[in-house]
Amino acid sequence: MNDQIVWINHAGFDLRSQGVRLVCDPWLEGQAFNDGWDLASPSSFRYSDFEGVDFIWFSHEHPDHFNPRNIKKIPENIRQNITVLFQRTKDRRVAIFCEKAGFHVRELADWERVHLKPGVFITCTTVANDSFSFIETPQHTYLNLNDCAPANPASYWPRIAKRIRRPVDVLLTQFSYANWAGNPGETETMRRCAAEKRGWIDIQLRTFRPKQWIPFASYVWFCRTENFHLNEGVNTIASIFSSYRGRGPECVVLYPGDVWAVGDSFASEQSVDRYMRDLASHAKPLEFASASVALHDLESLCDRQQEKIRRENGSWALGLLARSGVMKPVNLFIRDLGLGITYSGLRGITNRNVPASQCHMELSSDSLADVFRFGYGSDTLMVNGRFRELVPGARLVFIRNFLVQRYNDHGERIPSLLMKPSFMKFHLSGLFKRQNALNQGM
């Protein structure tokens, strides 16, 4: 029997081969990234449909790929028969979560070719905190790149192609941006980000030369008032299908619930039409009752964050970061509170009376609380786009002020990181210089 793919949603699918079921990145329902994203289309895959699944592979910890709220809804008696496959990490956070939830867990080393069932193998490789997988069955090979973003795609992907060696039958890759791409009205900036994604697709198609490819990992919409404008510049699935139709490998578009006999041609037009009708229905942001977080509560969260940073990192290393100037303070206007503050990644909130005219970024108090509360909070904000730059390049200053807690969140400590040439080059040199070029007025 030929391989089948049952489409789940977004980046999620159920690959069936040789009596084996391997599910990748299932996100079935609900919002993600601090309620900044929602699925463009409803899922038909249900939690009971995990019955009979042998393996679930999660590419990375982002909630549109690894969604704890969804995972917990898989019936317990089903979980105990599923093995979770995940990249080996220092913190083991995903592995521990899945073990506690009752799954079996297999942690994958970089480039380890893991035998799942006779004739079926998976190889996983990390890209920063993300990963991609190469799946082999007796019938086909699959390269699932999800939303991996190497620093230099033009040189990175050819190296990967040489390492894989085998031909790629089916390539799966992200087709639109999945992050902040401009302020309201900056449509041209958003279009440039969307064009960059198309450029990455072109590189991947030229490099791997798949027989067929599936655009995915972009079936979402920015669903909050603060980020709704980001929908204006995205690559729609209609524009992608139209651009690639009739040139190169067949573009296969799968809608939730579609079943594809891999290798066969597919009536993608129907799926495209269904997606576009769903997108048209999202004409206005969702209504959320996000309560404001008072300044004293933000200060408490910030103080706890600072205590954790000092506890987990050497004082000499933090001092070196402070002297380097890499963590230049950022002025934030908290929209719902109507006040401006100065935040420093190594000192916390240092000024509570900054005029709005001197602020670099604008965001809501609940978004800032999320950033203080979680090590991954700053990444979440960059992805959900629930902020506005008041000075060009301010987001780079902002994100660097949360550099320490972001690395701590993945089990890294600053003393050891300062010994890594790649860390020093990127964070203490390259990124600092790039930010100064973008923003000389801060």
User: How many angstroms separate the CA atoms of 147 and 58, rounded?
Assistant: 12
Q: Is 208 helix (H, G, I), strand (E, B) or coil?
A: helix
- Least confident range from 81-95, 245-259, 281-295, 372-386: namely 281-295
Total H helices, total E strands in the chain: 16, 21
| CATH architecture, range 4-280 | 4-Layer Sandwich (3.60)
pTM summary value: 0.93
pLDDT score recorded for residue 442: 53
Residues 72 and 415: their CA atoms lie apart, in Å, by 36
Looking at residues 228-239, what average pLDDT do you find?
Answer: 98
The more confident residue out of 439 and 91 is 91
Same fold, 4-280 and 295-438: no
Residue 96 makes CB contacts below 8 A (sequence gap 6+) with none
Would you list the domain boundaries of the chain? 4-280, 295-438
How far is residue 81's CA from residue 83's CA, in Å, rounded to a whole number? 7
Residue 9 to residue 50: CA distance in whole angstroms: 14
> By C-alpha distance, which of 355, 342, 352 is closest to 401?
342
Mind giving me the DSSP string for 335-347? TTTTEEEEEETTT
Model confidence pLDDT, tens digit, residues 129-188: 899 999 999 999 999 999 999 989 999 999 999 999 899 999 999 999 999 999 999 999
How far apart, in whole angstroms, are the C-alpha atoms of residue 169 and residue 305? 47
Question: Which pair of structure tokens corresponds to residue 341?
Answer: 């503050």
pLDDT of 27 reads 98
CB neighbours of residue 204 within 10 Å: 22
Q: Is pLDDT of 10 > 50?
A: yes
* Residue 436 confidence (pLDDT) above 70: no
Asked whether 387 and 381 are in contact (CB, 8 A), the reply is yes
| Nearest-angstrom CA–CA distance, 297 and 295 | 5
Helix (H, G, I), strand (E, B) or coil at 417: helix
State how far the Cα of 304 lies from the Cα of 151, in Å rounded to an integer.
33
The share of the chain scoring above pLDDT 70, in percent, equals 94
By the 8 A CB rule, do 394 and 439 touch? yes
The mean per-residue pLDDT over the stretch 101-125 comes to: 97
CA distance linking residue 164 with residue 168, whole number of Å:
9
- For residues 222 and 371, give the distance between their C-alpha atoms in angstroms, rounded to a whole number: 19
Place of tokens 């669903």: 223
Distance CA 241, CA 245 (A): 6
Q: DSSP code of 8? A: E
The fold for domain 295-438 equals Nonspecific Lipid-transfer Protein; Chain A (3.30.1050)
**Average pLDDT of the segment spanning 28-57:** 98
Q: Which residues of 323-342 are buried (b: 16+ CB within 10 A; e: fewer)?
A: eeebbebbbbbbbebebbbb
3-state secondary structure 253-310: CCCCCCEEECCCCCCHHHHHHHHHHHHHCCCCCCCCCCCCCCHHHHHHHHHHHHHHHH
Q: Rounded mean pLDDT of 205-228?
A: 98
- Residues 6 or more apart whose CB falls under 8 angstroms from that of 172 comprise 11, 13, 142, 143, 144, 145, 146, 213, 214, 216, 217
Distance from chain centroid for Cα 234: 16
How far apart CA 388 and CA 363 sit, in angstroms, is: 7
Kindly report the average pLDDT of the chain as a whole number: 93
pLDDT over threshold 70, residue 297: yes
pLDDT tens track for 387-425: 999 999 999 999 999 989 998 988 888 877 666 665 655
Q: Which residues contact 328 (CB under 8 A, 6 or more apart)?
A: 397, 400, 401, 442
Indicate if the pLDDT at residue 232 is higher than 70. yes
Whole-number pLDDT of residue 315? 84
